Amino acid sequence: MIDFNAFVKYSKPGPRYTSYPTALEFSENFSYDDYIARLKTGTKPLSLYFHMPFCRSACYFCGCNVIYTTNEGKKERYIEYLERELDLLCSVLDTSRPVVQMHFGGGTPTFYKAEQMERIIKAIRAHFGNFTSDAEISCEIDPRFFTEAHMEVLKNGGFNRVSFGIQDFDERVQKEIHRIQPYEITQNAIKIARNAGIKSINTDLIYGLPYQSFESFKTTLETAVSLSPDRFAIFNYAHVPWIKKSMRKFDETTLPAPNIKLEILKHTMEFLPSCGYKMIGMDHYAKADDELFGALKNGTLHRNFQGYTTKGGADLIGIGLTSIGEGEDYYAQNFKDLDGYEKAIDANKLPNNKGVFLSAEDRLRKDAIMSLMANFALDIRALEAKHNVDFAKHFSSELEVLKSTLGEFVEISPEKISVNETGSLLIRNIAMCFDEYMKKFVGNNQSFSKTV
């Protein structure tokens, strides 16, 4: 049984570790030539991420890189530049490498018309012809902008996973976060996907939003379960108004207090398993026959910018505005502003703006942190063999900090670090013990969201 009172005091700013080092370490010191050299020499399978940045209007809770528009011309122009980026990318990247994963994120990918999405997919397929038979091909979908025509295009394009944004079903919460989405719209979107034969449907919920109460979120959760998705992503709202101006629209006194959020979390962790969903990572749940749960059991679950996946070991190629790529020893990010993105492509250059080169030390710590984040465990002997290091000696000070501050949540042996059930809710805190960059942020409360 989880002791929820045990970890309230551990809430502090910390990374979500979709990468290590985090994006705060990205800089122009990782040059364009560095990026091109790595694209040319890579040999691993490929994971492709396409960013579709446009939304019709702002959801005030959103922390994504988004451009708000009703201008159809802007969307058409972006497709043209995506096509040109693909041409440039394929002049340096071996596109015969197998593609094991592709993801459309945003923004709102389905804010594009069905025929526009078909054009994008055809361009991708024309450049990348070696998708594996078991490739995971997914799209984020706002149910308010989703039709049978969209689904037909996605299905014909090989998409086999979809993720629907819900956030909350309560009308007052929806009004406050500027996202009116009646239940019937979401229900119909899921019905469209099921009728098309999609067997992996995820739904996103967020707790910690304005005017949420324990009872209101309990109702939202029950309503969401009645739709029978295959997976849930249930995120703790990251309130960072110093980064996202739209979040300043919230009256902070309407945000649920920490004890309410803990009650919501506790109920979620009890209710979903009773409905057949198992906890995956720090904020995901999946049905017991889902491949994510199988990967967690055998210690092969991975975490990247798209969340939890079984497709580890691939080179991630970021395509489109603000997209991030990842290789063995680097992260690379495209321009975040449309002007910079377009100017790069107009100059016949890929729109890479910055990144970070991973030293041997970074790669060691990345493996340790990502193993903990994905599997709640770290195989010390495997890490030592891969990196030729004496773990206990190399991380002596980190292990002391872990034992003295979070020792009740972990079991440490010479062979393994295991995180207990309560500790799984503090996995960001535990991972931070191995983060060499965190010392720069001591006393800085405006770099990361709270861990609890």
Beta bridge partners of 141: 164
Mean pLDDT of 112-119: 97
Report the alpha-carbon distance of residue 252 to residue 16 in Å, rounded. 22
Crossing angle for the helix pair 338-346 and 72-90, nearest 10 degrees? 50
> Averaged over 337-344, what is the pLDDT?
97
Does 208 have pLDDT greater than 80? yes
* End-to-end Cα separation, the chain, in angstroms: 18
pLDDT at residue 184 tops 60: yes
- Rounded distance between C-alpha atoms, residue 427 and residue 409, angstroms: 9
Distance separating alpha carbons of residues 288 and 185, to the nearest angstrom: 27
Q: Report pLDDT digits (tens) over 158-169.
A: 999 999 999 999
Q: What is the pLDDT of residues 28-57, one digit of tens each?
A: 999 999 999 999 999 999 999 999 999 999
Q: What is the pLDDT of residue 7?
A: 64
CA dihedral (151, 152, 154, 155) positive or negative:
positive
Reply yes or no on whether the pLDDT at 434 is more than 90: yes
Out of 171-175, 186-190, 305-309, 444-448, pick the least confident.
444-448
Give the Cα separation of 273 and 50 in Å (integer). Answer: 33
Q: How many CB atoms lie within 10 A of CB 110?
A: 27
Domain ranges in the chain? 18-317, 360-452
In this predicted structure, what is the pLDDT of residue 281?
Answer: 76
pLDDT tens digits, one per residue of 264-289: 988 998 999 999 998 887 789 999 88
Question: The domain 18-317: what is its CATH number?
Answer: 3.80.30.20
- What tokens were used for 372? 């903990």
Backbone angles phi, psi at 439, to 5 degrees: -60, -25
| pLDDT of 447 | 55
Sign of CA dihedral 69, 70, 76, 79: positive
219: helix, strand or coil? helix
pLDDT of 452 reads 63
Core vs surface per residue 3-24: b (16+ CB within 10 A) or e: ebeebeebeebbbbbbbbbbee
- Taking the C-alpha atoms of residue 155 and residue 161, their distance in angstroms, rounded to an integer, is 10
Long-range pairs, 372-375, Cβ under 8 A, ≥24: 372/417, 372/419, 372/427, 372/430, 372/431, 372/434, 373/17, 373/281, 373/282, 373/303, 373/427, 373/428, 373/431, 374/281, 374/296, 374/301, 374/302, 374/303, 374/308, 375/296, 375/299, 375/300, 375/301
pLDDT band at 446 (very low <50, low <70, confident <90, very high): low
239/356: higher pLDDT: 356
Q: The whole model's pTM is what?
A: 0.92
How crowded is residue 334: how many other Cβ atoms within 10 Å of its Cβ? 23
Among 258, 236, 310, which Cα is nearest to 280's? 310
pLDDT tens for residues 389-415? 999 999 999 999 999 999 999 999 999
What is the total residue count of the chain? 452
The predicted structure's pLDDT at residue 8: 65
Which pLDDT does position 121 carry in this prediction?
Answer: 98
Computed over every residue of the chain, the mean pLDDT equals 92
451 falls in which pLDDT band (50, 70, 90)?
low
Average pLDDT over residues 76-97: 97
Candidate CATH numbers 3.90.1150.10, 1.10.10.920, 3.90.1710.10, 3.20.20.150; the one for domain 360-452: 1.10.10.920
Helix H or strand E encompassing 421: helix 421-424
The answer on pLDDT for 443 being more than 70 is no
CB 86 within 8 A of CB 123: yes
Instruction: State how far the Cα of 25 lies from the Cα of 8, in Å rounded to an integer.
Output: 29
The mean pLDDT of 70-76, rounded to a whole number, is 93
pLDDT of residue 275: 96
* 5: pLDDT strictly greater than 90: no
- What pLDDT, on a 0 to 100 scale, did the predictor assign at position 259? 82
- Of the two residues 447 and 335, the one the predictor is more confident about is 335
Residue 258: count of CB within 10 angstroms of its CB: 13
Beta bridge partners of 309: 302
